[in-house]
Amino acid sequence: MWILWLVIIGLIVYFIGQGGFKSYKSKEKETSLEILKKRYARGEISKTEFDKMKKDLQ
């Protein structure tokens, strides 16, 4: 019985250490192009900068 509790507590500690269940599901990394597109959409970079950086990535 105590082994079951130990496993349950271990799983809880593991998921809390990983940032909870949400971050566990969203571990996919963004590509450089996706980050670049988001920066352009937010207005952080101009169209010219976007095109140049996109060309450099390809």
Render each residue's pLDDT in the chain as its tens digit; 58 residues: 889 888 888 888 887 776 655 554 555 677 888 899 999 999 999 999 999 999 998 8
The whole-number pLDDT of residue 38 equals: 92
The whole-number pLDDT of residue 28 equals: 64
Alpha-carbon span 20 to 50, nearest angstrom: 35
The burial class, CB within 10 Å (0-12 / 13-18 / 19+), for 53 is: middle
